[in-house]
Structure 1
């Protein structure tokens, strides 16, 4: 049995801004089910939602600050969660990284440096918890200083650093290094320095014993200039300790057979019942209730990375076809406005809800026929996996985890029953439109469509599969 300290800046259902929280809420549980001793550590934000008792464990003095360590449990599990409690840094409105206006907190370097230092104290068994991990598993830039600081310790545990999205690097002005009182031996171009900036993510990429990312294709992509965000040289240099392990999805939360957030449950044998959820969306969004036109769904950030501009460029052509479109998300104000304008012009074809709404997200997955995910890059992506599980066929660009999880519908994949969606190559509106047209043609053949839905619903995207690969990695360390 391995003792694993899982270091993350967010974990569902305690606090969530994106996919990192889903991973941090699910992977520790899957590892625990494989009989591993996993503890999760994260900052004690104001927004944390816990139905379990939170108790005081100890106080630690780090960087002339008195920091409390609290203990609770991950809801619906036995996993111990340690909360780094320093109200001046973490007890504030807004989300973990941004204020109410959507700007990064100006003291993020201090906030996450302190979090990393406390994680190191716990990892080195200096918090008097009488528990020391064999493996410290860090995630994204917010925990990037942990492997760097551990590299200076004697007899430190092995470290794993997972890249969830290389585009977010935790870059701060060079003078931050003094303010954070980081050891000088970490400050050089082969260390934490990145073009005269302090890079938190480099702490993980340079100093961790092993690097993982969230899909095999993304692991290869980030070693190229197109996706490496300036770090491709370093990743190429460390390619022997870099691998991609696909994220799983929480099958208890995302299951059309048991999902408490959808009005009508269904399974492969009762696929016709999916229709009720579709009618429910159409009513909810005030679209004509019509079973004969395909309903396209989109949930996600309305930003260029997600290819939202490609969709906007396609929309006049799309909306001239017999189809409907519902969107849920928020992001770039320009895109939000353009989408709202289009929804206003085509009220019987298109509807948009700005923001995030978990029950509505489940309803869109369950009630849509097609899910749009034309990302420019996508380290792993979860919605394309949720969609397949719900028999909602995804349209995706061939990149990252999308390439690894969706099998394009072609004559040969239809024949061998592996087809699960529609894949296009080029990040252009014309390529996306072509895929949409292919989906429209297939939708008109109800029998063929149901076959692809069945293929998709049979796929195994369980966390157990991913957890077994992580466990193998831990053992090799």
Structure 2
């Protein structure tokens, strides 16, 4: 498979031996082709983003493009089509079962990354996010919408998409693309597939009676297949049929094999771990997170000179209605949901305010948390400021201006916010779980606490306040946080190792 040649221009290059250069005979030319990777995702930060998957989908393919011919497949949401520019339809993908026909379009990002777009207005050209409508309700046809994505990925891997390109390996992401691995298996195709789990809690669950419309064989509705407690699980399908599973931190890879974090899939994941088919690879953050260059900041700074943090802090205070202060500024940049420990942050606010601290919050999520935070801000005017929603500039200035980031997540597969905060010299105060445990060194570049409860959380906050009162220690911790490696190079190298193992496994199948 790795030696299969495709005719796409630019995919190959010629090499001439040293001996040939010094002889009269015609040089022998060997063709070396980059392995072809199709990165299948339901969101990408270039065009549409609902969470961390969008950031990873934008950054990881770019980190891999020097080693692979990596291309992206994404549904043709309205937001994608309005931003990507010219899209050439290169194929029609036929209807199958209850999955409608669609066009396969090809476009490019501004920096030349090839993006395949599924052109199916009836499924994708809607207001709302990739997964929910403008009222926050799941689209009723999400099973068809993302089965279409999985089936298209399988078609492209089998050579039925772009006539000039074929994938050697599929890199699938979360439940929306999980069925791709299953469709290949049901066709008897041994094309290697990697499934990355970004958050095991989201599984893509649907009723059993949807099987015929999705082209899922009855025999696959089994514990050794797609069945999950009487329902169809797209994520389980991906885990069961993929060649290899990755998740987004080494600690989370261990956690999801235990019942308390496994979301009912811990047994299957323990099996994959025993087989050597489960790896944890921490995410990186893209190079734009650089406080010395960030255009959103009112004053730029670096690990060698972070005096500019104060100007950003004052801007945040003014923007969020906080009083000017020399005390510590705490930030919350988060989805406002139970997983993120928002209730713990609300309860800990009294401790922070009583110690002269201030809190700025940006995010949206569950209505009860939004209301509780707004009530908290009214009780502590000048000390707590809340903005429901999200703005990139505000968020970046909050990371840059704050002294601490509150991140008491009950579980956190990887987390990006703590890395953004560290890069901008804000010390995360976080629960010791998942990627938080892998990226924060307690007392060195942030603070960790064990049990996700108010007592442990406030203890960690008090340790942060102690550090704030000791300027030499605070400066040393900020510097350590800013200098921690945050990029994608190490992670990309580990993905390359996984790709090679998956290809070997598929070759033996």
Would the TM-score normalized by the shorter structure come out above 0.5?
yes
d(CA) in 2 for partners of 1:57, 1:364? 44
Q: How far apart are the structure 2 equivalents of 1:27 and 1:215?
A: 15
Return the alpha-carbon distance in structure 2 between the equivalents of residues 105 and 405 of structure 1: 35
1:448 to 470, 473, 476: 473
Instruction: Find the counterpart in structure 2 of residue 6 from structure 1.
Output: 39
* 1:191-210 correspondence runs (5 A): 191-210=225-244
Looking at structure 2, the residues matched to 329 and 202 of structure 1 have their Cα atoms a distance apart, in angstroms, of 30
Deviation string, structure 1 residues 341-385 (Cα, Å, up to 9, x no partner): 010111110000001111111111111110010100000000100
* Residue equivalent to 1:96: 130
Indicate whether 1:280 and 2:341 are aligned.
Answer: no
Structure 1 counterpart SS, 2:78: coil
Give distance in 2, aligned partners of 1:86 and 1:14.
17
Match of 1:416 in 2: none
Structure 2 partner of 1:407 = 441
Matches within 5 A, 1:266-305: 266-290=301-325, 292-305=326-339
1:22 aligned residue (52, 55, 59): 55
How far has the Cα of 1:52 moved from its partner?
3.5
Distance 2:215 2:173 in 1: 22
Which of 429, 434, 448 does residue 454 from structure 2 map onto?
A: 429
Q: Is 2:278 the partner of 1:242?
A: yes
Structure 2: stretches of 5+ with no match in the other structure: 1-33, 503-509
Larger Rg: 2
**RMSD across aligned positions (CA):** 1.2
1:260 aligns with 2:289: no
Q: CA deviation at 1:312?
A: 1.5
What do the CA deviations read for 1:233-254 (whole angstroms, capped 9, x no partner)? 0100111200100001002x21
Partners of 1:302 and 1:336 within 8 A in 2: yes
TM alignment of 1:31-42, pairs within 5 A: 31-32=64-65, 34-42=66-74
Equivalent pair of 2:84/2:107 in contact (CA under 8 Å): no
Distance 1:374 1:129 in 2: 49
Q: For the residues of structure 2 that align with 1:317 and 1:249, how far apart are their CA atoms?
A: 32
Q: What do the CA deviations read for 1:424-471 (whole angstroms, capped 9, x no partner)?
A: 001101111111111011101111100010111111111121111101
Q: Residues of 2 paired with 1:299 and 1:386: CA distance?
A: 10
Q: Distance in 1 between matches of 2:317 and 2:84?
A: 34
2: CA distance, partners of 1:28 / 1:307: 31
Mapped contact 2:421–2:427 kept (Cα < 8 A) = yes
Check whether the contact 2:84–2:109 (CA below 8 A) recurs between aligned residues: no
1:211 paired to 2:231: no
Mapped pair 1:472 → 2:472: no
Aligned with 1:106: secondary structure?
coil
Which residue is 1:379 aligned to? Answer: 413
C-alpha deviation, 1:271, in angstroms: 0.9
Distance 1:19 1:403 in 2: 17
Counterpart in the other structure of 2:389: 355
SS of the counterpart of 1:62? Answer: coil
Contact 1:140 1:162 in 2 (8 A): yes
Question: Is 1:45 aligned to 2:77, yes or no?
Answer: yes
Whole-angstrom CA distance in 1 between matches of 2:188 and 2:147: 20
Contact 2:90/2:162, CA 8 A, preserved across alignment = no
- Corresponding residue SS for 2:54: helix
Matched, 1:60 2:93: yes
Query: How far apart in 1 are the matches of 2:470 and 2:226?
Result: 56
Q: CA deviation at 1:316?
A: 2.1
Shift of 1:155: 4.4
State the 1:128 CA deviation.
4.3
Distance across 2 between alignment mates of 1:151 and 1:216:
28
TM-score calculated relative to the size of structure 1: 0.95
How far apart in 2 are the matches of 1:275 and 1:72?
A: 43
Q: CA contact under 8 A between 2:47 and 2:84: conserved in structure 1?
A: no
Structure 2 residue 160 is the aligned partner of structure 1 residue 133 = no
SS, match of residue 200 in structure 2: coil
Q: Following TM superposition, by how much is the alpha carbon of 1:132 offset from its aligned partner in structure 2, in angstroms?
A: 1.5
Which residue matches 1:413?
Answer: none
Aligned counterparts, 1:60-209, within 5 A = 60-63=93-96, 65-75=100-110, 77-209=111-243
Answer yes or no: is the 8 Å Cα contact 1:124–1:156 preserved in 2.
no
What is the rounded CA distance, in whole Å, between the counterparts of 2:44 and 2:255 in structure 1? 26
Conservation of the 8 A alpha-carbon contact between 1:148 and 1:186: no
SS in 2 for 1:258: coil
- For normalisation by structure 2, the TM-score amounts to 0.89
Contact conserved, 2:304 with 2:479, CA < 8 A, in 1?
Answer: no
Q: CA deviation at 1:35?
A: 2.7
Match of 1:366 among 376, 380, 400: 400
